[in-house]
Structure 1
């Protein structure tokens, strides 16, 4: 069982009336971003350690609770120890910490008590020193009994610092944060302007978890550039859906006008909008909206393939293109449903409009459909073999 403990006690450096945890980040507040990362690794119970409660903090914790997490606001280690399940493993997040989902997953996957540390000179804004050459990098995994150990200490001891010392004295495993991550995507920030600069790198990293080649080469670079801009401008989720809706309408209209190359080009652009919109919605905790946009990518790709087949049928007077299109959609759907680990070269729905685009430009859409179908068959065959290889 995993629980989370986020510290939200320090004031922002440039906004003394606000807590650092409630500074804007990722379209919400920093604490909401931290909670989203914890929720993604299976945390269902969240403790928020505070010294004072502000209206902004109340609003943030209410929104976090509205997304399915149980949230308890605590003022001391004694309260935290009383609230947490005695068998829970607690992921501790330092006050003002900015990090990525990959780092959170790393420490959550540890089977032992662990501290994330950085070397001196790595560029990370660390919390405090652990030994002569390492500092705590703001994340820890501790058993629930460690909170009870801190609760037994004098009440005037700093909760966060004492928890770190107790864990270090218990010989927690030290995980060394990679220097590149420390410089750009991980650190403690309590200044609104510095947090905004850090957010651009962190937000750009969100697309790195998508492993398919189409995402790596096309959509992740687009998302990495546009997502920070959208967040900074406060673009709402429905705005991305409206833009994608216009793209879908334009795609259908161009197919109707027998302009398949232009239609596929617009479909690729619309897919990029949906991909970025899904990431933006996920960042804001709108998971349902994110799933809708992910499914819309597959639906748009299927519609584009089928309409290309219909256009080939009308232009050539034979059903070859249509048969290839139907076969492609069916094969791609089967490959997507295969519960096998994804390989980078595999096809995804987003890839098909881009693959078909150069063939449509060259006026050989039927050949493009045949090539895409062969690619889909190769993906499906590889998925089947991967499933057969499982013990």
Structure 2
């Protein structure tokens, strides 16, 4: 069953009365933008951001979300809410300034009818809204259309989120309890200022993203661990993934120069660094809950890598190796590697690493022969182990 999402974004930050919690920087974007991406990932087919005033930061967040294909709109009053809210599906209510792990979003999204994400009353949950003597609201609720519109009819100037939560409690909504460990580790937190947002973002990024995709040997064993180590620091300094990806493209193009000048080791090292930067850009996208690109921008750096391999070899075998590596790269990026394990997937990054080692020891011809055997075995594994 489809559902919509209502995100509250009107409370002021503790940093300044002129700044909103929703506009705090979080994981390379505004806080409300991150919440909207979480709701969309959980299955929301439309998102309404309830605001008291439309600020430039909120408008820009809506533009970025819309550019990524997430249907989102700003709602300023109850009249607009009554007009825009769906009458035939539930809504996912998200509290102002709340950060909740994606697993909890998915858990609430899987339930139909009224449901609340709650946590036991404790010192760790003190910032959250109390709903009874023993529990507090953890910032997420699924509300049925009857309860939503019944509340909108009588809400007046009251706070929509808290009023809906009270109504859900009185109606006997099912409760999903959050473990206290999630509050202690930042998987559930109410963010009030930028310093707190930075701490919670660090905890979220340390836990890693929820995205899972098979990677080739070079990426899985070399590039991904480095990207996981460096990406949180870049995210905290607000370095955009787009700029990192552009730097990777530029370095990939420059790396062809030393290869043309018969300095293959230097060229392969630069290509490996370029592929690492591209992997970091993908990691930054995943941390921000954006899907890494699957179009032409995803293949620019690998294109330079296979081009460099063909240029360095200067033979038919090197060109055939480059073409086979391009095929494996496409299969890896588009998740068509079947049941092949990472060590079976010989991507351009894997070949560059092998050729770099052999070039350092003056055995680059042997490197090309080993790479050709490895990529042939890789293609065979992908074909033979392809899932039905």
- TM-score, length of structure 2 as denominator length: 0.79
1:202 & 1:279 partners in 2: Cα distance?
A: 13
Contact kept in structure 2, 1:117 and 1:175, CA below 8 Å: yes
CA displacement at 1:57 relative to structure 2: 3.7
Task: Label 1:23 to 1:371 Cα distance change in 2 as closer, same or farther (>3 A).
Answer: same
Partner of 2:15: 14
Partner of 1:316: none
Contact kept in structure 2, 1:48 and 1:72, CA below 8 Å: yes
Alignment of structure 1 residues 245-324 onto 2, 5 Å: 245-280=249-284, 291-307=295-311, 310-311=313-314, 313=315, 319-324=316-321
1:220 & 1:338 partners in 2: Cα distance?
A: 16
Alignment of structure 1 residues 324-335 onto 2, 5 Å: 324-331=321-328, 333-334=330-331
Question: Once the two structures are superposed, what CA deviation does each residue of 1:348-367 show, in whole Å capped at 9, x if it has no partner?
Answer: 74653465344554523111
Alignment of structure 1 residues 29-178 onto 2, 5 Å: 29-65=30-66, 67-68=68-69, 69-76=71-78, 79-111=80-112, 113-120=114-121, 123=124, 127-130=128-131, 133-177=134-178
Contact kept in structure 2, 1:125 and 1:187, CA below 8 Å: no
- Secondary structure in 1 matching 2:44: coil
Contact kept in structure 1, 2:328 and 2:347, CA below 8 Å: no
CA displacement at 1:46 relative to structure 2: 2.0
1:252 & 1:3 partners in 2: Cα distance?
A: 49
Alignment of structure 1 residues 197-212 onto 2, 5 Å: 197-205=199-207, 207=209, 209-212=211-214
CA displacement at 1:96 relative to structure 2: 0.3
2:47 & 2:152 partners in 1: Cα distance?
A: 18
Task: Label 1:108 to 1:38 Cα distance change in 2 as closer, same or farther (>3 A).
Answer: same
Task: Label 1:323 to 1:8 Cα distance change in 2 as closer, same or farther (>3 A).
Answer: closer
Structure 1 residues without counterparts, runs of 5 or longer: 314-318
Alignment partner of 1:377 is 2:380 = yes
Q: Which moved more, 1:167-176 or 1:340-349?
A: 340-349
Contact kept in structure 1, 2:27 and 2:201, CA below 8 Å: yes
- Secondary structure in 1 matching 2:129: coil
Partner of 2:350: 352
Question: Once the two structures are superposed, what CA deviation does each residue of 1:6-26 show, in whole Å capped at 9, x if it has no partner?
Answer: 011221112122111112223
- Secondary structure in 2 matching 1:155: coil
2:308 & 2:140 partners in 1: Cα distance?
A: 46
2:156 & 2:107 partners in 1: Cα distance?
A: 32
- Secondary structure in 1 matching 2:93: strand
Contact kept in structure 2, 1:150 and 1:163, CA below 8 Å: yes
1:66 & 1:329 partners in 2: Cα distance?
A: 29
Number of aligned residues: 377
Contact kept in structure 1, 2:92 and 2:142, CA below 8 Å: yes
CA displacement at 1:193 relative to structure 2: 1.1
- Secondary structure in 2 matching 1:72: strand
Partner of 2:6: 5
Structure 2 residues without counterparts, runs of 5 or longer: none
Contact kept in structure 1, 2:331 and 2:337, CA below 8 Å: no
- Secondary structure in 2 matching 1:118: strand
